[in-house]
Structure 1
Amino acid sequence: MRSIFYTLPFILLFFGYAAHAQEETLSKEEAIDLVLENNLGIQVARNTKRIDDNNASILNSGYLPTVTANGGGTIDRQNTEGVLANGETRKAEGAETRRYNAALNVNYTLFDGLGRYYNYKSFKERSQQSELEVKQTIETTILQLFTVYYEVARLTENTNNLEQALEISKDRLTRARYQFEYGQNTGLDVLNAEVDINTDSINLLNSRQQLRNTMRDLNLILNRELSTGFAIDTTVNFVPGLEMESMHNEAKINNVRLQIVEKDITISNYNVKVARSNFLPTIGLTGTYGWNESNNNSPLAFSLQNTSTGVTGAINLTWNLFDGGRSITGIKNAKITYENQELFKKQIALEVERDIRNAWDSYNNALYVLEVQEKNLQTNQNNFNRTDERYQLGQVTSIEFRQAQLNLLNAELAKSQAKYNAKLAELQMLQISGQLLNVDF
């Protein structure tokens, strides 16, 4: 046991040095800036938004004409024989005919039953919906960020409290040794003090290991080098003046899930109108500018060379009177999809109302627990101070002193846990109400 006692301080010294060899404090604002810039999930969501923006551009609308160019050439060699009107026979060996052509074609749809119009509006809605999905990804990522950030803060406080507990245990061991040397106690008090130091040292080592692991988790969210060291801001500020009715009203308007399903309903409505456009005719314009040339060296040919250019224009109408029932089926299915989106909206609305009420209760309960833990910490602090004074006077045993020390440590850890639980409950409530990105952290 003594070998363990002498080894652990060196281990703690090493890890303590590593823990203090850190970079400057990572503030909450800096963490948010880093996650918005570097997080891979947010980058993917933004790239998806770019795709939807491209789809919603005029180049993908069907409103612009199509222009095509084509050209070709042929060479024909033949042996021919012919009889002229005067009875003369003529032969042409290897008579060659060359033909060339080129054309420029323009096609434009004047009317397609308004299908492209509603498709274009649907793409616009999808682009706006994609922006909401980016916001949703950002909200989820920031909540994840602060879940890990505050866990690092909690473990930092726990580690500091455990370090203080270890120092108290070391002072107790020194005092026990002096008392044993002067015959004021038995060697059992010294052994108990050494055992408690080993226990505190192990707890401190475990806490530091958990802290390092959680710091790597935070670096992963920030998408930076996992070994990057940093200190953490352990202060917690709560948003003042939150009210249940206000949070409930904000959730009905600003909850991103509700906003996304609203876009789904709008897009489904446009899809019904697109399906109906199949019953209307399509009117289009076509235009062609062409050039043709033919060369023939045969003595039997009526014309040795012919060149023509010209412009052709046309208007056409296509009306699909019956397509076997596919259009009718498409309209029915589009209407069913629209009805499903309406039902899904009602379901999301109920879930959001439940979530905001649950979040509000959790938030208030967490605040109450924090208040109780703060009072409990003060009580245990006073109890430990009095026990420490009486222990120095020899009026309490080492076991009673150790119990008071553990009670104080547990109260410190519980108060730290309650503080960060309350803050995370607040952030979850703000996310549901759609206000997470509008507050200071």
Structure 2
Amino acid sequence: MKNTFYTTILVLMLVGPFAMAQDQILTKQEAINMVLENNLGIQVAKNTQLIDENNAGILNSGYLPTLNGVAGGTIDKQNSEGVLANGDTRTAEGAETRRYNASLSLNYTLFDGLGRYYDYKSFKERSQQSELEVRQTIETTILQLFSVYYEAARLTEQTNTLEQALDISKDRLTRAKYQFEFGQNTGLDVLNAEVDINTDSINLLNSRQLLRNTMRDLNLILNQDLSAQFVADTTVNFVPGLQMENMQLEAKENNVRMQIVEKAINISDYNFKASKSGYLPTIGLTGTYGWNESTNNSPLAFALQNTSYGVTGAVNLSWNLFDGGRTITTVKNAKISYENQELAKKQIELEVERDIRNAWDSYTNALYVLEVQEKNLQTNMNNFNRTDERYKLGQVTSIEFRQAQLNLLNAVLAKSQAKYNAKIAELQMLQISGQLLNVEF
């Protein structure tokens, strides 16, 4: 053979990320930047955050006064008749009366039982909770991104490996034909080689199809044209120095679900306190500046034109001593909601502890499997080298050579799968511990 499978696989492992230099390589950091900028789910979450930020502003707090302007005008036309003191009678036909008015009213609540104070606090907590929800969406999307990204990288390695396997099978067919022509073997070896080429070709076609489908899935997450072409970076680097105890501590402090439920508890507490404002009075301040003018052209009118303007102010107190029990019911329900959030926190704490333990076990198990697969790959490489040398000398059959080739092929693919499984397990653990956005990929 002109090339051994061992050599081609070794070259693939060393230069695989650069084997398709003619195509654009989408680096991991570029993929992150693209998904943060373009992913539709993240954009929706950010818009929701903007809404909550607006709600938490001073303009929605109830602390600012309200100012109302009112203006109006009327025109009356009527016939009238009047008797004077001396007995004379006077009539006015089509007498017109015009009235105009305008006013500005200022209303300000001085005290509302602290309801708006706790509502404002609740809006602030909701804004911060919304920010955490954006982070949760980003973490989930990035984990989804790399699940697809690393699958594309694995399929890229698999496709390259199958291409090399097909080349080996073609070279083996050529040798089998030469040997048959010179009477060194039977036609059975040629037929076996042709069958193996067909099998390798089908496997390669299926792998290429899976790779194309996965690339479309990746473009969908990145919100790119589904036909965009690029190559995934097959380099995998693991985060060093991870320890179970540290992961548990990080999860308790930084897990986004834990932080979101903390905000939910604070919101429920403020809602409970705000609901009790119905027991207290409301004190308000009102001020009005008004202008009125009336014009009457009737000869019977006492004054033909009257104009008045001025300022009035008042302080009012309103106290709903009993509202049919609605406030009592609202307070009770708000207290129950607060207790439910406390129970939800305990549930999430247990789930997070379970999740981090499961993730750690999956991560360490995946690393062990990767180590075993690397050793298995080395063993199969050595076995194939010996079989390849003996096959050249005619000491093993083509069937034995093919079996050694398949063993090495399966070992390469298993090692590649184990590598990406371990990386995904690591990312899942980092997400649960709240560290996913703090590491380099």
Q: Distance in 2 between matches of 1:134 and 1:422?
A: 27
- Secondary structure at the residue paired with 2:234? coil
Equivalent residue letter for 2:350: L
Q: Distance in 1 between matches of 2:353 and 2:283?
A: 50
1:340-399 CA distances to partner (integer Å, 9 max, x unpaired)? Answer: 000000000000000000000000000000000000000001101100100110100111
Shift of residue 23, structure 1, vs aligned partner: 3.4
Matches within 5 A, 1:294-305: 294-305=294-305
Q: Distance in 2 between matches of 1:240 and 1:20?
A: 29
Q: Distance in 2 between matches of 1:254 and 1:324?
A: 45
1:269 is matched with 269
Equivalent residue letter for 1:218: L
1:219 is matched with 219
Q: Distance in 2 between matches of 1:30 and 1:21?
A: 17
Q: Distance in 2 between matches of 1:373 and 1:21?
A: 28
Q: Distance in 2 between matches of 1:21 and 1:393?
A: 38
1:155-197 CA distances to partner (integer Å, 9 max, x unpaired)? Answer: 0010111011111111111111111011010000000000000
2:400 is matched with 400
- Secondary structure at the residue paired with 2:308? strand
Instruction: Give yes or no for contact 1:286–1:314 (8 Å, CA) kept in 2.
Output: yes
Instruction: Give yes or no for contact 1:22–1:229 (8 Å, CA) kept in 2.
Output: no
Instruction: Give yes or no for contact 1:269–1:338 (8 Å, CA) kept in 2.
Output: yes
- Secondary structure at the residue paired with 2:298? coil
1:49-70 CA distances to partner (integer Å, 9 max, x unpaired)? Answer: 0000000000000000100111
- Secondary structure at the residue paired with 1:241? coil
1:435 is matched with 435
Instruction: Give yes or no for contact 1:125–1:266 (8 Å, CA) kept in 2.
Output: yes
Equivalent residue letter for 2:407: N
Matches within 5 A, 1:17-416: 23-416=23-416
1:3 is matched with none
Equivalent residue letter for 2:88: E
Instruction: Give yes or no for contact 1:390–1:396 (8 Å, CA) kept in 2.
Output: yes
Q: Distance in 1 between matches of 2:226 and 2:413?
A: 27
Aligned length: 423
1:127-159 CA distances to partner (integer Å, 9 max, x unpaired)? Answer: 000000000000000000000000000000101
Instruction: Give yes or no for contact 1:22–1:231 (8 Å, CA) kept in 2.
Output: no
Change (3 A) 1:278 1:263: same
Q: Distance in 2 between matches of 1:176 and 1:74?
A: 110
Shift of residue 78, structure 1, vs aligned partner: 1.3
1:231-280 CA distances to partner (integer Å, 9 max, x unpaired)? Answer: 11101000000000000000000000000000000000000011100000
Shift of residue 423, structure 1, vs aligned partner: 0.3
- Secondary structure at the residue paired with 2:227? coil
Q: Distance in 2 between matches of 1:94 and 1:44?
A: 65
1:2-52 CA distances to partner (integer Å, 9 max, x unpaired)? Answer: xxxxxxxxxxxxxxxxx9696321000100000000000000000000000
Q: Distance in 2 between matches of 1:202 and 1:269?
A: 63
Equivalent residue letter for 2:50: R
Instruction: Give yes or no for contact 1:430–1:436 (8 Å, CA) kept in 2.
Output: yes
Q: Distance in 1 between matches of 2:240 and 2:322?
A: 65
Q: Distance in 2 between matches of 1:94 and 1:40?
A: 69
1:379-421 CA distances to partner (integer Å, 9 max, x unpaired)? Answer: 0011011001001101001110000000000000100000000
1:302-350 CA distances to partner (integer Å, 9 max, x unpaired)? Answer: 1111000110111100000000000000000000000000000000000
2:7 is matched with none
1:8 is matched with none
1:6 is matched with none
Change (3 A) 1:165 1:23: closer
What percent of counterpart residues are identical? 83
**TM-score for the superposition, normalised by structure 2:** 0.95
- Secondary structure at the residue paired with 2:46? helix
Instruction: Give yes or no for contact 1:289–1:310 (8 Å, CA) kept in 2.
Output: yes
Change (3 A) 1:205 1:21: farther
- Secondary structure at the residue paired with 1:330? helix
- Secondary structure at the residue paired with 1:271? helix
Q: Distance in 1 between matches of 2:77 and 2:251?
A: 82
Shift of residue 88, structure 1, vs aligned partner: 1.1
Q: Distance in 2 between matches of 1:73 and 1:149?
A: 71
Equivalent residue letter for 1:214: T
- Secondary structure at the residue paired with 2:300? coil
- Secondary structure at the residue paired with 2:146? helix
- Secondary structure at the residue paired with 1:290? strand
Instruction: Give yes or no for contact 1:279–1:321 (8 Å, CA) kept in 2.
Output: yes
2:5 is matched with none
- Secondary structure at the residue paired with 1:387? helix
Instruction: Give yes or no for contact 1:366–1:422 (8 Å, CA) kept in 2.
Output: yes
Equivalent residue letter for 1:128: Q
